[in-house]
Structure 1
Amino acid sequence: MAPIFIVLILVSIIALGEVLSLSSRAKIPTLLVVVAVTFVLLQTGLLPESYIEASTFVAAGGVLVPVLIVHLGTMIPLSVIKKQYKAVLITLIGLIVSVLAMLIIISLVFGYQTAVAGAGPLTGGIIAYIVTQEGLTEAGFVSLAAIPVVVFTLQNLVGMPLTSTLLSKYAVTIRDDFSNEKFSSQKGDEMKGDLGSKKKELLLPERFMQSNFFLLFLLFIGGALATWLGEITGINYSLWSLAIGIIGFAFRIYPDKALDRSNSSGLAMVALIIVVINSLVGITWDQVVSSLIPVLCVIVIGTSGLIIGGMIGAKIFKWKPTKAVPVVLTALYGFPGDYLIVEEVSRSIGRNEAEQNRIMNELLAPMLIGGFTSVTVGSIVIASILIGTL
């Protein structure tokens, strides 16, 4: 079959996942649909395993991973992170408690390698999953390959309903507390201010930054430099990519959301998802079934760690647990789930437009920053460090 037809099949599966996700307001995660449908097609032989490699997108996705991580480093300014430092620190506490709980308990029951296989994906998103999957394969733990993909696809089903329930309870206190000026004074558009009106001049002329090709050139320089640094230092390329993106954005070498500005993020994400699909090749139904018990333990223990860490952070920074714990739980789903949940909660709890805006303004910034801290930064660091210990 010609590669164009294979890619059409794979993209149609991704599109199906998007349609179901949008229709259910992210209650059915896109990647859950993609992984489930692809796995069934592979197991039944309707989609031959060789087809995925023949699509040529697997190689493209592998090349784009460091570029995408550099892009992630350009997504949120340090000034916004400073304003939401409590959300950042509470999220980090939750991640640390969760990872330690998994490394201790899961290691005692199933072994250290199983704990590592589950910890990276549980504390973050697609990049952490890919780093973990690649690391397990390189270290020779092929038998554990089913664990990260099953954790990765099921954790949303736990995180999003739990977050929605807790945030709804906190939103009621915002709605009913008319006398507390802090809710009405938080505008929630501070992120817009830092990304927009306060934007500093870029180091290179603006006319260059309007070129899609030149932006891609800069991103590929960052990705190539990160890969080279990873080879000579032994530190995973993902950490270097993230650092280059953050530093490059701070020094105005990169604009914010660099890959989006190059109009390339959609195709890059398709390639990345096809890399995830390719990781299903060779995984059997028996492996998935045998991994369910350790996966459930990873999800239960990891999620419990996130909740306990969130409650500790709430105590330290004097936040209500119903606000702090959801911020930490963004590790289980990230963006756009965090935004959609806040939007849904504000609309369902607010009785009028003013109340809805007050709820949205109070919750949006910390939830987005929590997701950025965990999924975009924390999980990549955690996965990279843990994989290096195998």
Structure 2
Amino acid sequence: MEPIYAAAIILAFIALGELVSIWSKARVPGLLVAMLGAFIASQLGIIPTTTVDDSMLVQIYAILVAPLLFHMGSLIPLRTMAQQWRSVVIACAGMLVAVLIMSVTIAPLFGFETFVAGAGPLAGGIVATGLTTEGLTAAGVASSIIVLPALVLMMQSLPAMPMTNFLLRRYAIGLRDSGDLEHLAAAAQKTEESAKKKPITLPDFLANNELFVLFMILVGGSVATLISVPTHIPSSIIALILGIASTALGLTPERAMEKASSFGIAMAGVVAVVMAPLLAASLDDVLKALVPMVSILLIGGAGIMIGGFIATKLLRWKSTLGMSVALTAMYGFPADYLLTNEVARSVGRNPEERKQLTDAMLPAMLVGGFTSVSAGSVVIASVLVSFL
């Protein structure tokens, strides 16, 4: 198949997923629709099983994966992460406890490769899933295991989002009725409006030039790849650290790939890498992966909540907010943003109260989601895959 036709087919499924996600207010995950639709179409013979390979999107992923991780480091300012350090600690605790519990349950039950296949995707988003899928494929594991990361990614938000809605709603009602709302909202607003002065300030004609920003991102990815060879540290981890440092210094702007208008094509490459095993898999492979998938979701999800609860108690936060922050590992942005706004809208009794609730909850939820989905899960996936 011509690459342009194959790429259009893959993007059609991704676009359909996005439309369904927007229509359902993120209750139905877009990736679930995209990947399930592509799998069904391939099983019915509507599209070839080689559609992903024909689309050349995998090659785009190979070029842009390190720059994409560099971009991930630019998403949340270092100052905001430092001020929301409790959210960072809670998110990390949730992920670590989940991985620990899975290592002593999933690994003995289903094998180490199955544990690796589920740990990274459960603790994060599509980038970690792409890294895991790539590592499993390179290690030559069974096809029924290679499809597991995609299945976990597709299904992980279904139990996590209703639970977050329940916990966050309880927290918001307690906050509204306790009299602490105005104080917390003011503190959150102050955090958001804190100064963003940086050591280096690029002139506007460079900072706003898409090709220059893209060049800087590719330099960051190239440096990460170069450093990874002698150090044996995964280039994904180095790229993430370089992205955080470069953004903090002012060498590259926040949300760098979006500034360079290249984020969409990079994410399409990641989706293609995750989708490829599903198109090539048989129905039997998927059925064999269902029991491990359900086990990973239940055990890993429980581990995330336990870790979040313990860290919340140690930090003397409200457990309902802490566990909500921990659960962002299972869906990330934009679901964390949409859930917070939905709860604030339903609990707040007037526009001012709704805004105060949003200001009080949103920074913690966003930083928690970034810590787990964009950063922590990448580290977990990179480390675990290295043991295959």
Equivalence map 1:76-115=2 (5 Å): 76-115=76-115
Greater mean deviation of Cα atoms: 205-214 or 81-90: 205-214
Question: What 5-or-longer segments of structure 2 have no aligned partner?
Answer: none
Task: Give the 5 Å matches for 1:287-306.
Answer: 287-306=285-304
Q: Is the 8 A contact 1:129 1:152 kept in 2?
A: yes
**Deviation by residue 1:246-284 (Cα, 9 ceiling, x = unmatched):** 111122211111111112222322232222222324221
Give the TM-score of the pair, scaled to structure 1: 0.95
Counterparts of 2:41 and 2:28, CA distance in 1: 19
Whole-Å separation in 2 of the counterparts to 1:184 and 1:315: 22
Match of 1:34 in 2: 34
List aligned pairs for 1:4-43, cutoff 5 A: 4-43=4-43
Residue 248 of structure 1: aligned partner? 246
Alpha carbons of structure 1 residues 340 and 49: separation in structure 2 relative to 1, 3 Å: same
* Match of residue 158 from structure 1: 159
1:365 is matched with 363
| Preserved CA contact (<8 Å) 1:202 1:254 | no
How many Å apart are 1:116 and its aligned residue?
A: 1.2
Of the candidates 164, 189, 214, which is equivalent to residue 216 of structure 1?
214
Matched to 1:113, the amino acid is E
The CA distance in 1 between the partners of 2:339 and 2:123, in whole Å, is 19
- 2:150 — aligned with what? 149
Q: Which residue of 1 aligns with 2:196?
A: 198
The alpha-carbon deviation at position 203 of structure 1 amounts to 5.0
Counterparts of 2:181 and 2:173, CA distance in 1: 13
- What CA deviation, in whole Å up to 9, does each residue of 1:322-374 have, x standing for no partner? 11000000000000000000010001111111221121111100000000110
**What residue ranges of structure 1 are gaps of 5+ in the alignment?**
none
Aligned to 1:339: 337
What per-residue deviation string (whole Å, max 9, x for no partner) do you get for residues 173-208 of structure 1?
1121236653342343633x35xx534363543322
The CA deviation at 1:42 is 1.3
Deviation at 1:210, TM superposition (A): 2.0
Q: Which moved more, 1:125-134 or 1:264-273?
A: 264-273
Q: Which amino acid aligns with 2:156?
A: Q
Q: Report the residue type matching 1:107 in the other structure.
A: A
Alignment of 1:280-319 (within 5 A): 280-319=278-317
| 2:135 match | 135
Compared CA separation, residues 210 and 9, structure 1 to 2 (3 A): same
Matches of 1:188 and 1:94 in 2, distance apart? 26
Alpha carbons of 1:228 and 1:279: their partners in 2 closer, same or farther (altered >3 Å)?
Answer: farther
Q: Alpha-carbon deviations, 1:152-176, whole Å to 9, x = none?
A: 1100111111101110111111121
User: Which is worse superposed, 162-171 or 199-208?
Assistant: 199-208
In structure 2, what is the equivalent of residue 228 of structure 1? 226
Deviation at 1:123, TM superposition (A): 0.1
1:320 matched to 2:321: no
The residue aligned with 2:75 is: 75
Which deviations, in whole Å up to 9, do the C-alpha atoms of 1:9-51 show, x marking residues without a partner?
2222111111110010000111011110011111122110223
Structure 1 CA distance for aligned equivalents of residues 297 and 363 of structure 2: 26
Q: How far 1:128 sits from its partner (Å)?
A: 0.6
Tell me if the contact between 1:64 and 1:272 (Cα under 8 Å) persists in the aligned partners. Answer: no
One-letter amino acid of the structure 2 residue matched with residue 351 of structure 1: R
Distance in 2 separating the partners of 1:53 and 1:228: 27
Q: Taking structure 1 as reference, are residues 120 and 180 closer, same or farther at Cα in structure 2, changes over 3 Å only?
A: closer
User: Contact 2:147–2:277 at 8 Å: present in 1 too?
Assistant: no
Q: Relative to 1, partners in 2 of residues 1:269 and 1:344: Cα closer, same or farther, differing over 3 Å? A: same
Contact 1:174–1:358 (CA under 8 A) maintained in structure 2: no
In structure 1, what is the Cα distance between the partners aligned to 2:279 and 2:41? Answer: 11
How far off its partner does 1:64 sit?
Answer: 1.1
Q: Given the superposition, is the C-alpha separation of residues 182 and 207 from structure 1 closer, same or farther in structure 2, using an over 3 Å criterion?
A: same
The whole-number CA distance in structure 1 between the counterparts of 2:99 and 2:155 is 18
Aligned 8 A contact 2:181 2:360 in 1: no
Partner of 1:170: 171
Counterpart in the other structure of 1:264: 262
* 1:175 and 1:358 in contact (8 A); partners too: no
| 8 Å CA contact 1:189, 1:361 repeated in 2 | no
Structure 1 pair 250–372 and aligned structure 2 pair: CA distance change class (3 A): same
Task: Report the AA paired with residue 28 of structure 2.
Answer: I
Q: Look up the equivalent residue of 1:348 and give its one-letter code.
A: S
Report the secondary structure of 2:50's partner residue.
Answer: helix
Q: Which residue of 2 aligns with 1:51?
A: 51
Aligned residue type for 2:227:
L
Which residue identity is paired with 1:174? L
Q: State the distance in 2 between where 1:134 and 1:3 align.
A: 21
CA contact (8 A) 1:212 1:263 kept: yes
The letter for the 1-side match of 2:346 is: S
TM-score, normalised relative to structure 2: 0.95
8 Å Cα contact 1:106/1:114 also seen in 2: yes
Q: Contact 2:198–2:249 at 8 Å: present in 1 too?
A: no
> What's 1:124 paired with?
124
Letter in 2 for 1:299: L
